[in-house]
Amino acid sequence: MHEMAQKENITILSHASDAVPSSLLAMKKSLKDSSLEREIRRFRRTNVRLNFGFQNNGSICVYFQDMLHQATKARSLLRNSNYILKIGAKHVQIEHLEMLLAVPGMVEQSIGLRKADLILEDKMNFPAMERMMSVEVERALKLHVPGSEGTQLFFRIIRTAVESFIDPTLDILTRVEGVWYVNFATLGWKRSVPSMAFLTPHQAACININAHSLLGLCLYFNESHPDIPLACERLGSQACEKVFRLARAMGGTLSLAK
């Protein structure tokens, strides 16, 4: 793929997938022999090119698991009877949102949350999760639902994981800070609770890969292409699929294939 792209003067810097186990396994296998931490230390000490994510032909390639799919999978986890989510001693419960919606006049206070958002008939309903994890809902939980600290933190972690990539207004340092806040928060969370009170191993691995890959890509651009802006909101697979759908709509499937 990389060789074909180079013939057309196209450089592929990253791959993204929809956070499915098969693609995650392939990404982990590809990065198995790379250690970003080791490369960052070497980079700071010698100021030489990073090797993390570089292929045998010298091209860079890092990997991302789509942020929107991670959010919808976190939403599904709230209704998974096999998991009793806790952060430390605080429970993460969708019932806290139900209690919030039961507060008189809460819908009129424009928190944006709907009762239908709590029903998981459509597991890929990202707009529903977006409303559930909004800043307005977090503030309302803090004011009106005692004991919901775990749920507040859960939504804050997922929101930061998503917005650090898709929010076009964020500067690059804020993005890196956000993904690494999420990475360290989940590492601490994992150590504080049993496995069935934490995210799935798959979700935790996605968060870890995204944090390392974003930092590696930022360091690469800073070293090799400091004059080119990095559009992080285009790194997820959903953003790429949107562009593909628009191109297909303009020219039709056959013309696009040609």
What's residue 60's pLDDT?
Answer: 63
What's residue 10's pLDDT?
Answer: 73
What's residue 32's pLDDT?
Answer: 56
**Is 118 in contact with 98 (CB distance < 8 Å)?**
yes
What's residue 85's pLDDT?
Answer: 94
What's residue 180's pLDDT?
Answer: 94
Tell me the β-bridge partners of 90: 87
Q: 13 is written with which tokens?
A: 């810097």
Positive or negative torsion for Cα 97, 103, 109, 115: positive
What's residue 153's pLDDT?
Answer: 96
User: What average pLDDT values come out for the chain (258 residues) when binned by 10 residues?
Assistant: 73 69 67 50 45 47 80 90 92 95 78 88 88 95 96 96 90 93 94 91 87 84 81 67 64 52
State the Cα–Cα distance between residues 154 and 162, nearest whole angstrom.
13
Report the alpha-carbon angle 181-92-197, nearest 5.
Answer: 80
What's residue 55's pLDDT?
Answer: 45
Tell me the β-bridge partners of 16: 64
Buried b (16+ CB within 10 A) or exposed e, 111-148: bebeeebbeeeeeebbebbbbbbbeebbebbeebbeeb
Neighbours of 237 (CB within 10 A): 20
Q: 240 is written with which tokens?
A: 């790429």
